[in-house]
Every structure is written in C-alpha cells, then in structure tokens.
C-alpha cells in the first residue's frame, strides 16, 4: 500500500535502477488449514507498506509487532483474483479472536519466512526422516 500523495522517487543511480528492474511483485500463496483452508496470496512487502500499517494506528498508539503484522495481513492479503480478502474493520475481530500462533505463521509467510504447519512438518519427516536438523 503506497501513499498516492507522495511522489514516486525516480532512481538516481544505476544501482537503484538495477535493483528496481530486478524487483518482482510475484505473489505467493498460503493455505491456512485452521481457517477452513482459506488461501491467502501476498505480493512483495515494502517499507511503505510497513509505514502505512504503523500510520493506521495514529500518533498516540504505539502498536506492537503483532499489531503491525496483523495490520499488514489485513491490508495485503488477497484472493486468487487479486481482490482484498479483509476489510480494515476486520483487524479488531481478528485481534480479539484469531489464534496468535496462526497469525504469526501467516505473518512469517507474508514476510518470506517459511514456516510449515505441524501436519506439513510431520509429512516431510515421514517422507524423509533424515531431513530433520539435529542439534546437540
């Protein structure tokens, strides 16, 4: 989510131009079994997205990391067609009633951290028992 009142800066260096040319907004999807197999799609996140999520709390409140993640999930989650899945008003209901563990897993996925469900981890171990990392 970008602020349309702010002009888009044009790159001033070849390095910045190269980075922007190589940047892809390809979407990734995550199926959340705990939410009735709801499939969420996320594109690339930017600093502007994070700043917009923080600004949604106003000047007085200092949102927690979890609140910022929830605001970004609500703002950025889409369905397969690219339509937004949530309304801004959904954030409070999700904050009050959705599992923090599930929200954290969705946030990790949104941020690009791969976090399998317990079922996926068990399946991976069954398929390849030696794939588990061993710590001493």
CA distance 30 to 13: 36
| Residue 135 within any structural domain of the chain | no
Q: Which CATH number covers residue 31?
A: 3.30.2220
| Residue 133 within any structural domain of the chain | no
| DSSP letter for each residue of 1-38 | ---TTSPPPPP-SHHHHHHHHH-----EEEEEGGGTSE
| Residue 124 within any structural domain of the chain | yes
| Residue 30 within any structural domain of the chain | yes
pLDDT at residue 132 in the model: 58
Domain of 97, in residue numbers: 24-128
Quick: pLDDT tens for 97-111.
999 999 999 999 999
What are residue 74's DSSP bridge partners?
none
Total number of domains constituting the chain: 1
| Residue 19 within any structural domain of the chain | no
CA distance 93 to 88: 10
Range picked from 3-12, 17-26, 97-106 for highest mean pLDDT: 97-106
Residues 6+ apart with CB under 8 A from 128: none
CA dihedral 12, 13, 14, 17 (to 10 degrees): -40
| Residue 29 within any structural domain of the chain | yes
CA dihedral 127, 130, 135, 136 (to 10 degrees): 130
**Distance of CA 29 to CAs 41, 54, 71, 91, 114, Å?**
4, 24, 18, 20, 12
| Residue 89 within any structural domain of the chain | yes
Quick: pLDDT tens for 48-88.
988 888 888 776 667 888 999 999 999 999 999 999 999 98
| Residue 41 within any structural domain of the chain | yes
Q: Classify the C-alpha dihedral 71-33-99-107 as positive or negative.
A: negative
């Amino acid at each position: 989510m970008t602020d349309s009142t702010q002009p888009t800066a044009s790159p001033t260096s070849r390095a910045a131009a190269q980075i922007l040319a190589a940047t892809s907004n390809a979407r990734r999807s995550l199926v959340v079994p705990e939410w009735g197999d709801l499939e969420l799609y996320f594109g690339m996140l930017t600093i502007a997205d994070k700043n917009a999520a923080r600004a949604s709390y106003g000047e007085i409140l200092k949102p927690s990391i979890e609140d910022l993640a929830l605001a970004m999930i609500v703002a950025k989650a889409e369905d397969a067609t690219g339509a937004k899945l949530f309304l801004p008003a959904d954030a409070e209901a999700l904050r009050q009633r959705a599992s923090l563990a599930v929200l954290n897993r969705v946030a990790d996925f949104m941020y690009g951290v791969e976090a399998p469900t317990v079922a996926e981890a068990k399946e991976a171990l069954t398929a390849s028992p030696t794939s588990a990392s061993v710590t001493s």
